[in-house]
Chains A and B, each alone.
Chain A
């Protein structure tokens, strides 16, 4: 099958966490290989872990594969294996054609030498012959858009120019297989668009592209298939839309996990006068009235707060809100705003205040509930709490923006 450009079978790569061990294993491996003994590389030794474990896929001509995953999930390691920098410790990668890598472009530039000299050196390192570079030279310079600076030492380049030149060389070697790691986020918008255009052209010429990015919009725009890596494992392979929804779920799970790990009382911020009101609990209720931390996008959102009133109070008002992870208020309801909900003449005792949103319009994501209880006539704040105990809105939907409502598209020619 000649139109399969990349085939990876059960590929794995292990690393060691400690430098000392890594040096020791390095020396033993080198010695064993040097005398011709095979290393049993598919077994883990003490202190080692699989940075990439059991990843398989095939990529045909003209296809673009996206790899997404949380930080440290093995994306870059995997890309380095495709690029031949790391050898897999197990499995097998087979590739047809010249491989070009946009991984940390500009590596190998010599700061003292001019842009012109560096184009020739870098081009040769990346596998071009002098004639090919001569032919491409003008195109490279034009694409990089560095103008007169071409004959200045690259150490006088701005960081943008530096990366643009590197990217321009790498992209102009016309590889059959292009590996891209996060580099499309360099440069200004016009350079980004130029790169995207070039990439689309490359893809149309029956090249295969492997694309690692955190930019989910680029991934969904460019890729035909997407792999989700999590802790080195291939969690999902499939169409970009499903992958992105799954990935967002995964990253919510991770940030929820992180949030739960580092809180003790679950309270992020608390301002309390202490005497009048004793805070008991606050959070979400499901439709049957039990406390919950997860609500689906199509369920009603019911927020509550339990408190104990130590004295009789003439009137209270409540301000109940939901913040997103960036601490931006998304929903904010104040009881005194409503004519028909006055909570007057409180007697001493325990209360639960509830606010119910029949359709809340929030996007899937992680949110923080917050509540404030104030005196109606004096405006005194008795209790103000922002919880660290996050709540999760779950749903199968790519989360762009803050709210989601019913919508209808139309295009009108004017």
Chain B
């Protein structure tokens, strides 16, 4: 933990390393964690730019690649729907638009959690050699997901024009409505990236589970959380449904579920962040 010590004429930072040092700080740690993140926001930004600019540097299509995935998924489902293998409940907006919005929100979660889980291990050589705030790796991988989200949002606007659908003015709240799913993603990523540091099985399990989860979530076809008690247990359903409903209809169909899911997300983030902070010092020696 870094503290400012005004005693000297120069502003000296005192650094203390000892076993279990973070445990001793109790409740004050939340403030410290937030300040530390603020201090390292430039680092988060640099890491994000670094990953982004390196990712597609040796490719011709470049950023087009992450736009291809939603198109292929939507195309597949349109085909499956047309030939009648999968029967999608009629949605009252054009299906491609419905699916694109769903996928855009979903991929915030799925790409965020997959790259977040891997973020510490894939920066392993750096983590064991340089001392820097490790949560910046997780946050910057989320920033990557956010960037892709923004590009796809432009695509959504274009789709609204193509299909001549008028979005609801409440749709301006869309960025706010996706916040809970972002919070949940960051929270889960913080925990999973740590576990992945010790057990590499985590990354495989996560990518398997997210694929599976997508079919239990109203991404490519509508599911309402109110329908079944089991579906109520999946907080992702209202988190995906609500922003889309706001954007398309201007109304929230599952207000209670959405609120509960939001609270769950915030609690997950706060706990996960705290745990991350407590145990991040144990990670370099296990990498």
Residues of A within 8 A of B (CB): 2, 15, 22-23, 26-27, 29-30, 33-34, 36, 38-39, 41-42, 80-99, 101, 103-104, 107-108, 110, 112-113, 117, 120-121, 124-127, 129-130, 153, 176
10 cross-chain pairs, A with B, having the tightest CB-CB distances, nearest first: A107-B129, A84-B131, A87-B281, A92-B18, A26-B286, A108-B126, A93-B17, A26-B198, A124-B46, A112-B54
**B20: nearest chain-A partner, CB-CB:** A38
Pick from A90, A97, A124, A176: contact of B19, CB below 8 A.
A90
A42 touches B19 (CB 8 A): yes
B46 touches A33 (CB 8 A): no
Pick from A23, A36, A81, A84: contact of B199, CB below 8 A.
A23
Surface stretch bound by A, among B6-14, B76-84, B108-116, B170-178: B6-14
A88 touches B19 (CB 8 A): yes
Pick from B13, B54, B282: contact of A98, CB below 8 A.
B13
Chain B residue contacts of A23, Cβ below 8 A = 198-199, 286
Chain B residue contacts of A130, Cβ below 8 A = 42
Contact A126 to B132, CB < 8 A, known contacts A15-B285, A110-B50, A113-B54: yes
B198 touches A41 (CB 8 A): no
B17 touches A101 (CB 8 A): no
Pick from A94, A104, A125: contact of B15, CB below 8 A.
A94
Given contacts A33-B282, A80-B284, A86-B284, 20 further A-B contacts (CB under 8 A): A30-B195, A33-B275, A34-B275, A34-B279, A36-B278, A38-B23, A39-B19, A41-B19, A84-B15, A87-B17, A87-B282, A94-B17, A97-B10, A112-B57, A113-B50, A117-B53, A125-B132, A127-B132, A129-B42, A153-B57
Pick from B16, B23, B127, B278: contact of A93, CB below 8 A.
B16
Distance of A375 from chain B, by nearest CB (Å): 63
A117 touches B50 (CB 8 A): yes
Distance of A163 from chain B, by nearest CB (Å): 13
Chain B residue contacts of A22, Cβ below 8 A = 286
Pick from B20, B130, B194: contact of A85, CB below 8 A.
B130
A-B contact pairs, 28 of them (CB 8 A): A2-B7, A22-B286, A23-B286, A26-B198, A26-B285, A29-B279, A33-B275, A33-B278, A34-B279, A38-B20, A41-B20, A83-B131, A86-B281, A87-B17, A87-B281, A87-B282, A91-B18, A92-B18, A93-B16, A97-B12, A99-B131, A108-B129, A112-B57, A112-B58, A120-B46, A121-B47, A121-B49, A129-B42
Q: B224 within 8 Å of A by Cβ? A: no
For window 20-38 of B, CB contacts with A under 8 Å fall at 20-21, 23
Separation of A98 and B12 alpha carbons in the complex (Å): 8
Q: B233 within 8 Å of A by Cβ? A: no
Separation of A84 and B285 alpha carbons in the complex (Å): 11
Distance of A266 from chain B, by nearest CB (Å): 42
Chain A residue contacts of B53, Cβ below 8 A = 113, 117
**A51: nearest chain-B partner, CB-CB:** B285
Render B260-287 as a binary contact track against A, CB cut-off 8 A, 1 for contact.
0000000000000001001101101110
Separation of A126 and B46 alpha carbons in the complex (Å): 12
Render B238-255 as a binary contact track against A, CB cut-off 8 A, 1 for contact.
000000000000000000
Contact A84 to B129, CB < 8 A, known contacts A34-B275, A36-B23: no
For window 43-78 of B, CB contacts with A under 8 Å fall at 43, 46-47, 49-50, 53-54, 57-58
B132 touches A87 (CB 8 A): no
**B197: nearest chain-A partner, CB-CB:** A26
Distance of B222 from chain A, by nearest CB (Å): 38
Chain A residue contacts of B12, Cβ below 8 A = 2, 96-97, 176
B278 touches A107 (CB 8 A): no
Chain B residue contacts of A124, Cβ below 8 A = 42-43, 46
A94 touches B14 (CB 8 A): yes
Contact A125 to B126, CB < 8 A, known contacts A27-B199, A30-B194, A42-B19: yes
**B132: nearest chain-A partner, CB-CB:** A125
Separation of A29 and B285 alpha carbons in the complex (Å): 12
Chain B residue contacts of A98, Cβ below 8 A = 13
Separation of A91 and B17 alpha carbons in the complex (Å): 9
Distance of B81 from chain A, by nearest CB (Å): 41
Chain B residue contacts of A110, Cβ below 8 A = 50, 54
Chain B residue contacts of A104, Cβ below 8 A = 129
B284 touches A85 (CB 8 A): yes
**A103: nearest chain-B partner, CB-CB:** B129
Contact A2 to B8, CB < 8 A, known contacts A30-B194, A95-B15: yes
Distance of B104 from chain A, by nearest CB (Å): 28
Separation of A83 and B129 alpha carbons in the complex (Å): 9
Q: Which of B47, B54, B275, B282 counts the most chain A CB atoms within 10 A?
A: B282
Q: B128 within 8 Å of A by Cβ? A: yes
Contact A33 to B279, CB < 8 A, known contacts A85-B130, A88-B17, A92-B18: yes
Q: B168 within 8 Å of A by Cβ? A: no
Contact A95 to B14, CB < 8 A, known contacts A2-B7, A85-B131: yes
Q: Which of B5, B16, B46 counts the most chain A CB atoms within 10 A?
A: B46
Contact A30 to B279, CB < 8 A, known contacts A2-B7, A101-B131, A103-B129: yes
B13 touches A96 (CB 8 A): yes
Distance of B270 from chain A, by nearest CB (Å): 13
A33 touches B126 (CB 8 A): no
Chain A residue contacts of B198, Cβ below 8 A = 23, 26-27, 30
B130 touches A101 (CB 8 A): yes
Distance of A105 from chain B, by nearest CB (Å): 9
A94 touches B281 (CB 8 A): no
Pick from B13, B14, B21: contact of A87, CB below 8 A.
B21
